[in-house]
Amino acid sequence: MEIMRLVVTGPVGAGKSTFIRSVSEIEVVDTDRRATDEALLIKKRTTVAFDFGRLQFGPDMALHLYGTPGQSRFDFMWDILIQKAHAYILLVAAHRPHEFREARRIMMFMQQRSPVPMIIGLTHTDCPNAWDAANIALALGYPNPNRRPPLVTVNANETASVAQAVIALVQHTWSGSLATT
Amino acid sequence: MAISTEKLTHILQSFVTSTTDIQGAAVVTPDGLPLAASLPGSMDEERVSAMSAAMLSLGDRIGSELARGGIDRIYVEGDKGYGILTSCGEDAVFLVLADKAAKQGLLLLEIKRTLSELKAVLM
Amino acid sequence: MTVTGYLADFSLPELFQLLEQGNKTGLLTICTLTDTLTAERFNHHIWFSQGQIVAAGNALDQRGLMRLIAQRGWMGDNAVSRLAQTCQINTPLGLCLKNQGVLTAEQLKLLFYTQVMRQVCALFALPDGWFQFDPKAPTPRAEMTGLIATATDVTLAGLRALKDWNALAEKLPDPSSALVSTVEGKPSLRLNPNEWQVWEFTNGTMALADVAKQLNLPVAKAQQIAFRLIVTGLAEEMPLMATPPTSSANLIDPESLELGVASTTSSGAAPVSNSFLQNLVGFLKGKV
């Protein structure tokens, strides 16, 4: 069995669990609990261990998707999940500039622990106060458009949109593997 | 009604001090925030809480997916001691850290007793 | 594209860093409620040109700089306006007056200090405010002295002078985080002694709380200095974990047994084949 493991990470409420639910073919293994912290302002339930989704696309080929919790108190889960990941996507809600710094912290955490390829997925881009991609890239610490991970827009509720984002991540991984071999 | 952290802390403190071989205890929310704790100095309350919640949620999941039913308790047995997680009603998780010398039967009895005290406060 | 938001969400130092790194030109307006009872609004304007601050003021009437000159008693309001009309359209007013011999270079510097440094630095203490950056706003020659300041310099000066850090409390790096340098070699900015001391620890391994202890600084002070290094683009916050990762990290992985042969190291993922990736992309394209 050949398996590729992708991690979906990002701050609270970026759409990680929704993302996985939209593309998984099995009923997603979730570990969400009623939120009692500041996450409650955004949503009712929050992931406390991880979400797990799967796509089986051949008799011996499968894609596994792991969603991390958003709060930094679960950073031990971030660490566990990133160790075995082939690549990851950082989801950032485009209309919550409040979270950009947190997204940056998560990214630093992941980059320090794993050199695997990553892309940035912008969610909630249709909200009235959403920032555009160029400015979010700046806020995430990428002033040079030629030297940053790929940025994609994704609607976590739509299977097609999520599939598109996963394609972008897989292709980015692919190009990386071609470059190094 | 507001949960009395003071009472919870008091129960935990007397549990930890009066029971031999118990090193620490905490009551946390299911999403991993501390409600009350009496832990060894080196342990971070917030971290312990988050880990407890993650563990119990995974245990729950194993219970349902692997047809083990509702989860009463999760044991982590290491060569230095035990970590025991017990569900404490809908809104709380009870974590007990005991050293290797602890007698399991006695430990469970103590946990059971303390659990009912905690539940009374949490109600 | 315009950028809007609240300072409580995206702080002024972060905003300045963004405008500087993005080489932005335009007008930043910060709207504050001076009195919550009367809901009286107050606007602050800061003009940027290619990421640098060129002017600041409280009004858009193009007469702010003239008023400042008049306040100094160097020249009457009317006299300045008359002279201004003779200035070339693209020349900053201050520079034009200097070229005409009406103002000295020293006076110009003083004007710029009053107009930009003092006014803008005061804004770092704002608890909140609505901001908007309009990249289409024209550069106001009549408000410009001709001098410029980098956003970084203004941020550094403003945050060094800041007494009340409440407004930024949530933005400060966590005491359990470390700093990691984002520049090669030593920073070219002029740092003060404390900043240099904290800078020495930007290797991503020591938590800020420990850095503070080592330097005999209050933790809050170390966090503030660290924040200055972060928003001036010298360092980045690196979250550390309380406990180092252990081999138990592998337990979570249900496939580690199957893949064990391929994966020789304890961490990291076994590589997948190109045909796998090809199949996967093909499969996903069917879902788009």
Domain layout of chain A by residue ranges: 2-180
What is the predicted pLDDT for the residue at C244?
Answer: 47
Work out the mean pLDDT of chain C and round it to a whole number.
86
State the average pLDDT over residues A20-24. Answer: 94
Judge: A61–C279 Cβ closer than 8 Å, yes or no: yes
Instruction: List chain B residues with CB under 8 Å of A48.
Output: 30-32, 50, 53-54, 57
pLDDT > 70? residue B68: yes
User: Fold for domain A2-180?
Assistant: Rossmann fold (3.40.50)
| C176, C208 Cβ separation under 8 angstroms | yes
* Radius of gyration (C-alpha) of chain B in whole angstroms: 14
Q: Which of B31, B50, B65 sits opposite A34 (nearest CB)?
A: B31
- Chains near B with 3+ CB pairs less than 8 A apart are A, C
Give the C-alpha separation, C225 to C186, whole Å: 16
Could you tell me which of C12, C46, C43 has the C-alpha nearest to residue C28?
Answer: C46
Greater confidence (B5 vs C16) lies with C16
Instruction: List chain A residues with CB under 8 Å of C276.
Output: 2, 4, 61
Residue of C nearest to A111 (CA): C238
| Half-sphere exposure in the Cβ direction for C79 (13 Å, CA) | 10
Give the C-alpha separation, C95 to C108, whole Å: 8
* Radius of gyration (C-alpha) of chain C in whole angstroms: 26
Query: Residue B91 belongs to what domain range?
Result: 5-122
Residue of B nearest to C176 (CA): B44
Greater confidence (C40 vs C235) lies with C235
How open is the CA angle C198-C201-C204, to the nearest 5 degrees?
130
Best A26, A98, A118 residue to mutate vs chain C (most C CBs within 10 Å): A98
pLDDT > 90? residue A102: yes
Instruction: List chain B residues with CB under 8 Å of C242.
Output: 44, 47
Q: What CATH number is given to the structural domain containing B96? A: 3.30.450.30
Q: Which of A61, A129, A171 sits opposite C276 (nearest CB)?
A: A61
Amino acid, res. B27? V
Instruction: List chain A residues with CB under 8 Å of B46.
Output: 73
pLDDT > 90? residue A62: yes
| A154, A161 Cβ separation under 8 angstroms | yes
Question: Could you tell me the pLDDT band of residue C257, with boundaries at 50, 70 and 90?
Answer: very low
Q: Decide if C238 touches A, using CB distance below 8 A.
A: yes
Q: Give a three-class secondary structure readout of A58-119.
A: ECCEEEEEEECCCCHHHHHHHHHHHHCCCEEEEEEECCCHHHHHHHHHHHHHHHHHCCCCEE
Give the C-alpha separation, C8 to C46, whole Å: 18
Identify the DSSP state of A11.
Answer: S
Give the C-alpha separation, C90 to A164, whole Å: 48
Give the C-alpha separation, C20 to B113, whole Å: 62
Q: CB C163: neighbour CB atoms within 10 A?
A: 5
Judge: C280–A4 Cβ closer than 8 Å, yes or no: yes
Instruction: List chain C residues with CB under 8 Å of A131.
Output: 3, 5
Instruction: List chain A residues with CB under 8 Å of C9.
Output: 96-98
Residue of C nearest to A143 (CA): C21
Q: How many domains does chain B have?
A: 1
pLDDT > 90? residue A178: no
Contacts of C107 (CB under 8 A, 6+ apart): C72, C74
Give the C-alpha separation, C210 to C208, whole Å: 5
What is the predicted pLDDT for the residue at B118?
Answer: 94
**Which pair of tokens denotes residue C180?**
């990691």
> Which domains, from first to last, does chain C contain?
3-160 (no CATH), 172-244+254-267 (1.10.10)
pLDDT > 60? residue A94: yes
Question: Could you tell me the pLDDT band of residue C35, with boundaries at 50, 70 and 90?
Answer: low
What DSSP letter does each residue of chain C carry, written as one string?
Answer: --EEEETTTS-HHHHHHHHHHTT--EEEEEEEEEETTTTEEEEEEEEEETTEEEEEES-SSS-HHHHHHHHHTSS-HHHHHHHHHTS-TTS-HHHHHHHTTSS-HHHHHHHHIIIIIIHHHHGGG-S--EEEEETTSPP-GGG--S--EEHHHHHHHHHHH----GGGGGGSPPTT-EEEE-SSSS-SS---HHHHHHHTTTBS-S-HHHHHHHHT--HHHHHHHHHHHHHTTSEEEE---SS---GGGGGG-TTHHHHTTT--SSSSPPPPPHHHHHHHHHHHHTT-
**A27-41, B15-29, C206-220, C235-249: the lowest-pLDDT one:** C235-249
Q: Decide if C183 touches A, using CB distance below 8 A.
A: no
Q: What is the pLDDT of residues B43-58, one digit of tens each?
A: 888 889 999 999 988 8
What is the predicted pLDDT for the residue at B2?
Answer: 66
What is the predicted pLDDT for the residue at C135?
Answer: 94
Give the C-alpha separation, C54 to C62, whole Å: 14
| A82, A110 Cβ separation under 8 angstroms | yes
Question: Could you tell me the pLDDT band of residue C254, with boundaries at 50, 70 and 90?
Answer: very low
State the average pLDDT over residues C272-282. Answer: 92
Rounded to the nearest 10 degrees, how much is the dihedral formed by the CA atoms of A111, A137, C126, C39?
-140
Contacts of A163 (CB under 8 A, 6+ apart): A23, C284, C285, C287, C288
State the average pLDDT over residues B19-26. Answer: 91
Specify which residues C237 forms β-bridges with.
Answer: C179
Identify the DSSP state of A39.
Answer: G
Strands A87-93, A2-9: pairing is parallel
Judge: A39–B47 Cβ closer than 8 Å, yes or no: no
| C3, C133 Cβ separation under 8 angstroms | yes
Best C174, C240, C241, C243 residue to mutate vs chain B (most B CBs within 10 Å): C243
pLDDT > 90? residue A55: yes
Q: Decide if A46 touches B, using CB distance below 8 A.
A: yes
pLDDT > 80? residue C146: yes
| A35, A46 Cβ separation under 8 angstroms | yes
Could you tell me which of B40, B38, B42 has the C-alpha nearest to residue B27?
Answer: B38
How open is the CA angle B75-B78-B83, to the nearest 5 degrees?
40
- Chains near A with 3+ CB pairs less than 8 A apart are B, C
> How close B20 comes to chain A (CA, Å)?
30
Residue of A nearest to B31 (CA): A33
pLDDT > 90? residue A181: no
Instruction: List chain C residues with CB under 8 Å of A164.
Output: 284, 288
Instruction: List chain A residues with CB under 8 Å of C128.
Output: none
ipTM: 0.90
Best A12, A44, A46, A73 residue to mutate vs chain B (most B CBs within 10 Å): A73
| C17, C8 Cβ separation under 8 angstroms | no
Greater confidence (C139 vs C37) lies with C139
What DSSP letter does each residue of B17-70 carry, written as one string?
Answer: HHSTTEEEEEEE-TTS-EEEEE--TTS-HHHHHHHHHHHHHHHHHHHHHTT--S
Report how many Cβ contacts below 8 Å link chain B to chain C: 3
Instruction: List chain B residues with CB under 8 Å of C243.
Output: 47
State the average pLDDT over residues A15-31. Answer: 91
Question: Could you tell me the pLDDT band of residue C87, with boundaries at 50, 70 and 90?
Answer: confident
> How close B47 comes to chain C (CA, Å)?
8
pLDDT > 50? residue C259: no
Helix (H) or strand (E) segment spanning residue A57: strand A51-58
Q: What is the pLDDT of residues C221-251, one digit of tens each?
A: 999 999 999 999 999 999 887 554 444 433 4
What is the predicted pLDDT for the residue at A29?
Answer: 83
pLDDT > 70? residue C256: no
Greater confidence (C58 vs C253) lies with C58
Give the C-alpha separation, B41 to A63, whole Å: 43
What is the C-alpha end-to-end distance of chain B, expressed in Å?
8
